Amino acid sequence: MLKDKQETMPVIDCDVHNQFRGGGDLLPYLDEPWRSQAARFGVPSAGAPYASPVGNKRKDADPPSGLPVGSDPAFMLEHYVNPFNVEYALLCSDSIIGISGFADPDYAAAICRAYNDYVIAEWFPVSSKFKGYMCVAMQDPAQAVREIERIAPHPDIVAVCVIGGSRMPYGDRYFHPIYEACQRHQLPLLIHPGAEGGGIFNPPTAVGYVSNYLQWHTCLPQTYMAHLVSLVCEGVFEKYPEFKVVLCEGGVTWLPPLLWRLDKNFKALRSSAPWLKRMPSEYVRDHCFMTTQPIEEPNNLKHLDMMFEMFDAENMLLFSSDYPHWDFDDPTQILRRLPEEKKRKIFSENARKLFRL
Amino acid sequence: MAVYPVARTEEIPEGTFKIVQIEGRSIGVYNVKGEYYAINNYCPHQGAELCKGPVCGTTLESQVYEFIYGRDREILRCPWHGWEFDIKTGKSLFSDKVRARSYPVIEEDGQIGIVIGQPKQREGTEGC
């Protein structure tokens, strides 16, 4: 089903997943002693503790080359990027996204270094449309900072990616050096879900482990709510006034009621966070972004329009497709009701500005 | 109403399907346990090519914490978001109101024909 390019608005897709052809892809970029270890025993990971009944991938995106889904850059361009008028596909590693859940901080940091060198060497040169996110391991902020210093200057790196799963809320002072480094290099922090509850992470919901992928995936916004409240109230955006955060693939419509609650509480409990100079929701509006996919689909689509009116959606949302994953959003099919100008901001202009593209 | 011949029965053995084009429509013709069914190759949700999805079974209505697998090879799952459709009716498994368009099939003398233009056909609903 080819899309008519003429009718398609230009898109900057903020969540496109590049995959390894196999764990061996990383080996040439991995330092010793990890390389020999990974060569013999495989690249470790700490994935989600659930299995989806429909699998993780779209069933119609296998490259004809026989390579795994998402691992063939030429096919990604041919199958998705070019026909859908994608100006930039911002690559977000799928293969190592959960590495912050692996208990060994040094091995995890080595894998991130290898991935960053790999994506720079093997994906970005294929097309000027490919740019993307570097990965850091959150177990050891000092090593994460060194990695940001090393990689951030590369022109195709536009953000620092971490996973939603964590051992503590992201506003915690433990992580602040990472945010300072992000600010120094004008790179937003992008939080992407994928392994909540896996490895050394806390359980994926506030009440523990749900039974299956259906419940896990539905509850992902819980994690984002906790990270967001923490980032604001711990004063991260006062300490680092140029620091920006992207909440990727965590849902959108939960935001307004959470901010109402936070602002209301702040009026009474402000003394707990005397460093905040404005209402909490104002920090969120100025520092935070959300990606659209998987966009909520209420039976009455007017209800989604109404939710968009309850926060600064036109300036805070960034289009994402999640290609080639199972819950892919087609840029020609979603948010069709939005007025042209708002849509243009969400589909490309906001990302262009944020990522300085 | 018109009957469009689309294939000989031997072209679509049990458990297989064929995609045919009729008047600009792409339609999947499925052989489910010896019977033929035709379903529009278009998912009513976001417009994926439905017939690129796997044919499978599903879990039947059951008691809490009971899993009963059934309807093997009768369900077509969208290749994108995993929505399940009954190949025999086009109906989604989660709502009577959501369905992929299906067409009556006539089998005569080893020839499979699809009937287009019957008034009882129902359009798929719009997803978003």
Distance CA A223, CA B64 (A): 28
Does B84 fall in a domain? yes
Q: Tens of pLDDT along A313-346?
A: 999 999 999 999 999 999 999 999 999 999 999 9
Does B49 fall in a domain? yes
Instruction: Look at residue A44 in the predicted model and tell me its pLDDT.
Output: 86
pLDDT at B89 over 60: yes
**Kind and range of the H or E element at A226?**
helix A220-233
Task: Could you please state the CATH topology (level 3) that the domain comprising A7-354 is classified under.
Answer: TIM Barrel (3.20.20)
Amino acid (one-letter) located at B57: G
Record the tokens describing residue A104, joined without a space. Answer: 């060994």
Instruction: Look at residue B128 in the predicted model and tell me its pLDDT.
Output: 32
Instruction: Look at residue B125 in the predicted model and tell me its pLDDT.
Output: 42
The per-residue pLDDT of chain B, averaged, comes to 91
Minimum-distance CB partner of B54 among A59, A329, A336:
A59
Burial class (CB in 10 A: 0-12, 13-18, 19+), A191: buried
Contact residues, chain B, for A332 at CB < 8 Å? 47
DSSP state of A274: T
| pLDDT > 90 in chain B, percent | 88
Amino acid (one-letter) located at A231: L
Q: Residue A324: is the preceding peptide bond cis (ω within 30°)?
A: yes
Residue contact A329–B46, C-beta within 8 A: yes
Task: Report the chain A residue with the minimal C-alpha distance to residue B79.
Answer: A59
> Which has more pLDDT, A9 or A175?
A175
Does B123 fall in a domain? no
DSSP state of A17: -
Distance CA B116, CA B23 (A): 10
Residue contact A334–B128, C-beta within 8 A: yes
Residue that has been written with the tokens 């011949």 in this structure: B5
Closest by alpha carbon to B87, among B47, B46, B127, B27? B27
Residue contact A326–B54, C-beta within 8 A: no
- Residue A350, classed as helix, strand or coil, is helix
Residue that has been written with the tokens 């805070």 in this structure: A316
Distance CA A133, CA A174 (A): 22
A329 touches chain B (CB under 8 A): yes
Instruction: Look at residue B117 in the predicted model and tell me its pLDDT.
Output: 86
Minimum-distance CB partner of B80 among A53, A58, A297:
A58
Neighbours of A302 (CB within 10 A): 9
Instruction: Look at residue A308 in the predicted model and tell me its pLDDT.
Output: 97
Residue that has been written with the tokens 């233009």 in this structure: B117
Q: Residue A294: is the preceding peptide bond cis (ω within 30°)?
A: yes
pLDDT at B120 over 60: no
CA angle, A50 as apex, B45 and A216 as ends, to 5°? 60
Instruction: Look at residue A46 in the predicted model and tell me its pLDDT.
Output: 74
ipTM of the prediction greater than 0.95, yes or no: no
pLDDT at B97 over 90: yes
- Across-strand partners of B35? B32
Residue B34, Ramachandran bin (φ over 0: left; ψ between -120 and 50: alpha; else beta): left
Amino acid (one-letter) located at A28: P
| pLDDT > 90 in chain A, percent | 93
Residue spans per domain, chain A: 7-354
Query: Which domain CATH number covers B40?
Result: 2.102.10.10
Residue contact A54–B127, C-beta within 8 A: no
Record the tokens describing residue A4, joined without a space. Answer: 């008519």
Record the tokens describing residue A251, joined without a space. Answer: 């849902």
Record the tokens describing residue A35, joined without a space. Answer: 């390389």
Does B97 fall in a domain? yes
- Residue A343, classed as helix, strand or coil, is helix
Instruction: Look at residue A95 in the predicted model and tell me its pLDDT.
Output: 86
Q: How confident is the model at residue A2 (pLDDT cuts 50, 70, 90)?
A: very low
How, if at all, do strands A245-247 and A288-291 pair? parallel
The per-residue pLDDT of chain A, averaged, comes to 95
Q: Tens of pLDDT along A252-286?
A: 999 999 999 999 999 999 999 999 999 999 999 99
Instruction: Look at residue A7 in the predicted model and tell me its pLDDT.
Output: 58
Minimum-distance CB partner of A1 among B47, B54, B128:
B47
DSSP state of A345: I
pLDDT at A6 over 80: no
- Number of structural domains chain B divides into: 1
What mean pLDDT comes out for the span A130-157? 98
Closest by alpha carbon to A319, among A333, A305, A307, A306? A333
Does B126 fall in a domain? no
Backbone phi and psi for residue A239, each to the nearest 5 degrees, phi listed first: -65, -40
What mean pLDDT comes out for the span B84-105? 96
Q: Tens of pLDDT along A201-252?
A: 999 999 999 999 999 999 999 999 999 999 999 999 999 999 999 999 999 9
pLDDT at B126 over 50: no
Distance CA A226, CA A107 (A): 28
Minimum-distance CB partner of B79 among A60, A301, A336:
A60
CA angle, B62 as apex, B57 and B64 as ends, to 5°? 125
pLDDT at A90 over 90: yes
Q: Which residues of B touch A (CB under 8 A)?
A: 46-49, 52-54, 77, 79-82, 127-128
- Containing domain of residue B39, as a range? 2-116
Instruction: Look at residue A48 in the predicted model and tell me its pLDDT.
Output: 83
Residue contact A333–B49, C-beta within 8 A: no
pLDDT at B90 over 50: yes
> Cβ contacts of residue A228 below 8 Å, gap of 6+?
A245, A247, A258, A284, A288
Mutate to test the interface with B, among A54, A293, A328 (most CBs of B within 10 A): A54
Minimum-distance CB partner of A60 among B49, B82, B127:
B49
> Cβ contacts of residue A339 below 8 Å, gap of 6+?
none
Distance CA B50, CA A219 (A): 28
Residue contact A330–B52, C-beta within 8 A: no
A53 touches chain B (CB under 8 A): yes
